[in-house]
């Protein structure tokens, strides 16, 4: 089953001496957890996005889980989200005992279709969890209006959308929001996540929940059923260095995406949506006979993945009763999408090589 490593991987973190230096400084300081470095990372990200509180956690999934808990989502509640996302966006709902209610996506943006949300809301609906998929901002205005009209909590899954904007406002600043720093994300800490909120109350609850339920500060008083979802200062140091060069990371990714789109002109590959305010998590195209193309590309050691298969057709969701045909737009998109190699330091030569190979595989 061993396969040779891809010649061109799907993604690659951009790590340099700045990251190394800050990590070494933390290692030598002796303060590896719950220290000032984590606090600085939190402050810096919160300021970048324009939010009052940042709470670092061990990954983006944990941030989503705590966002729902801190907003009081509990067994019996329903939370509306999209079936076209990474599975964690829906799993976090199941962790709380609430029920995910999927709403089909918009064919152009791949994001939850605001026009279809209304009919999915009922008495048990407590929250809407939109996902800015691939860095494409959701249409927040109608979603926020629905939340207001029906007194619903809004939680943004912005794990793929650091740097994106909607109406000139940062994605992740419209509500309590979650970010991920997994190595395939534009800003990485290896593993890591952050919850941002403007609510003092939510921040206090998340702070306790991530730290074994300690509300008062006493080390052995556990007022809530908490978790250990903390982030290490060693990893927060990486995040600080990454955030310092976010501008250049975002600019490079834009350039790689532009190069791809230029070279794919005139082929029957559907290139990604260029839309106001998007940032680039992945470069995802649509092709006919996607599985064949993916197989041929991977045989050529160019790593490509079918981002995303529908969440509602994953086994844990099928066993809840979800089935094929329920969300036809998502299912059609899922059959056609293919994520191509994409990373900040990808050269024009690499992009041209991927495109030339892709043309042969079509
Ligand atoms: C990456 C990602 C997550 C989860 O982040 P982890 O840090 O891997 O736990 C959640 N939602 C979306 C949309 C993601 O892309």
Average the pLDDT over 327-352 and give the result.
98
Which of 184, 218, 244 is at the close of a domain? 244
pLDDT at 1 over 60: no
Give the ligand 1 atom nearest the CA of 193. Answer: 7
Q: How far is CA 231 from CA 50, 55, 57, 173, 213, in A?
A: 21, 9, 5, 22, 15
Domain that residue 118 falls in: 17-244
Give Cα 140 to chain centroid, integer Å.
Answer: 16
Ligand 1: residue of 13, 95, 160 to mutate (most ligand atoms within 8 A of CB) is 160
Q: Is residue 189 part of a domain?
A: yes
In a domain, 76, yes or no: yes
**Per-residue model confidence (pLDDT) at position 4:** 67
Tell whether 318 is covered by a domain: yes
Please give the mean pLDDT across all residues of the chain: 97
> Do residue 165 and residue 40 come from a single domain?
yes
- What CA–CA distance (Å, rounded) separates 231 from 243? 16
0.85 surpassed by pTM: yes
Q: Ligand 1 — pocket residues by CB below 6 A?
A: 59-61, 85-86, 88-89, 131, 157, 159-160, 180, 182, 193
Residue ending a domain, choose from 244, 273, 305 = 244
Q: Is 50 within the bounds of a domain?
A: yes
pLDDT (0 to 100) of residue 218:
86
Asked if residue 2 has pLDDT above 60, the reply is no
Residue at 239 is within a domain: yes
pLDDT at residue 263 in the model: 97
Per residue in 226-258, pLDDT (tens digit) is 999 999 999 999 999 999 999 999 999 999 999
Provide the 3-class DSSP secondary structure of residue 9: coil
> Ligand 1: distance of its center to the CA of 179 in Å?
7
Q: What are the tens digits of pLDDT across the range 84-126? A: 999 999 999 999 999 999 999 999 999 999 999 999 999 999 9
Whether 10 maps to a domain, the answer reads no
pLDDT band per the 50, 70, 90 thresholds, residue 3: low
Number of structural domains found in the chain: 2
Burial state string for 269-307 with b = 16 or more CB within 10 A and e = fewer than 16: bebbeeeebbbbbbbbbbbeebeebbebbbebebbbbbb
Q: Is residue 2 part of a domain?
A: no
Does position 294 have pLDDT exceeding 50, yes or no? yes
Q: Is the per-residue pLDDT at 140 higher than 60?
A: yes
């Amino acid at each position: 089953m061993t396969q040779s490593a891809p010649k061109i991987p799907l993604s690659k973190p951009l790590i340099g001496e700045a990251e190394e230096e800050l990590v070494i400084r933390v290692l030598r300081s002796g303060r590896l957890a719950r220290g000032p470095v984590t606090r600085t990372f939190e402050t810096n990200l919160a300021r970048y996005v324009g939010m009052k509180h940042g709470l670092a956690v061990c990954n983006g999934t944990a941030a989503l889980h705590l966002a729902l808990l801190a907003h009081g989502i509990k067994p019996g509640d329903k939370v509306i989200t999209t079936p076209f996302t990474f599975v964690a966006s829906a799993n976090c709902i199941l962790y709380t005992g609430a029920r995910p209610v999927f709403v089909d996506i918009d064919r152009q943006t791949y994001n939850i279709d605001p026009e279809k949300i209304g009919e999915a809301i009922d008495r048990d609906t407590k929250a809407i969890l939109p996902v800015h998929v691939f860095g494409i901002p959701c249409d927040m205005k109608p979603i926020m209006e629905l939340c207001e009209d029906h007194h619903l909590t809004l939680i943004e899954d912005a794990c793929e959308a650091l740097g994106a904007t909607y109406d000139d406002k940062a994605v992740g600043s419209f509500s309590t929001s979650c970010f991920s720093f997994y190595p395939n994300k534009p800003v990485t800490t290896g593993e890591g996540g952050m919850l941002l909120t403007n609510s003092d109350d939510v921040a206090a609850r998340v702070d306790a929940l991530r730290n074994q339920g300690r509300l008062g500060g006493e080390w052995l008083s556990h007022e809530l059923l908490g978790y250990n979802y903390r982030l290490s200062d060693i990893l927060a140091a990486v995040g600080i260095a990454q955030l310092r060069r976010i501008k250049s990371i975002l600019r490079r990714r834009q350039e790689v995406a532009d190069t791809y789109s230029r070279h794919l002109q005139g082929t029957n590959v559907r290139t990604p949506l260029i839309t106001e305010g998007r940032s680039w998590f992945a470069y995802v195209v649509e092709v006919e006979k996607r599985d064949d193309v993916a197989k041929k590309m991977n045989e050529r050691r160019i790593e490509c993945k079918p981002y995303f298969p529908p969440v509602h057709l994953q086994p844990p969701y099928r066993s809840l009763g979800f089935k094929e045909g329920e969300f036809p737009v998502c299912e059609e998109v899922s059959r056609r999408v293919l994520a191509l190699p994409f990373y900040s330091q990808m050269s024009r030569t690499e992009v041209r090589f991927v495109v030339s190979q892709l043309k042969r595989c079509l």
